[in-house]
Amino acid sequence: MARAAEKGFKLAKPWGDSAPYDVTVERGGEFLRVQVKSTMCEAHPKKPHHQRGVFVANMRHISIQRYRASDFDYLAVYVIPRNVWYIIPSEVATRKGAIRVAPGNPRNQYERFREAWRLLRNHEPSRKQRGGITMAGAILHSGF
């Protein structure tokens, strides 16, 4: 949240742990839901499908269920040892049970999302995606 605030985003955190996202980012009256994951777990270099410099973030709820694209709008993955962020759209992030990022490796499928804060600023919802929560929608569904 601190990094996003430094970049000028307005943020809110849902009360409790009842939401499948960790924070909302306000943009022009629309709230984008962001799930935040951090990792310092470097993939094991002795396993054939892992490489040194690849960090893994698990894509499961505490309840062991996998996230769905409708659970949040963006995934923010913080790679602690490298001090880098990946901002990944939910429809991309939820395709697999784990996200493997390799900071600085252009062959990594997620490298295009490294420090991609622009996605939160220029968000345009896809047809499949709910597209965030508007203030009017939040009030309407809250019962006020």
Phi, psi torsion values for 142, nearest 5 degrees = -85, -15
- Cα 36-53-99 angle, rounded to 5 deg: 35
SS3 76: strand
Task: State which residues form the domain around 85.
Answer: 2-142
CATH of the domain at 135: 3.40.1350.10
Task: Identify the pLDDT of residue 16.
Answer: 78
Please answer whether residues 12 and 31 qualify as being in contact, where contact means their C-beta atoms are separated by less than 8 angstroms: yes
Q: Does pLDDT of 29 surpass 50?
A: yes
Q: CA of 117: how far to CAs of 120, 121, 125, in Å?
A: 6, 7, 16
CA 84/CA 14 separation, integer angstroms: 24
Question: For residue 130, what pLDDT is reported?
Answer: 47
Q: What is the pTM of this model?
A: 0.79
State what percent of residues in the chain have pLDDT above 90.
Answer: 46
| pLDDT given at position 47 | 60
CA torsion angle 34 99 86 136 (round to 10): -20
pLDDT beyond 60 at 141: no
* Chain segment 78-119, per-residue pLDDT in tens: 999 999 999 999 999 999 888 999 999 999 999 999 999 999
Q: How many distinct structural domains can be found in the chain?
A: 1
What's the chain's average pLDDT? 82
Task: Centre a 10 Å sphere on the Cβ of residue 30 and count the other Cβ atoms it contains.
Answer: 17
Residues 71-105 as b/e (b if ≥16 CB within 10 A, e otherwise) read bbbbbbbbbeebeebbbbbbebbbeeeebbbbbee
DSSP 21: S
Q: How confident is the model at residue 17 (pLDDT cuts 50, 70, 90)?
A: confident
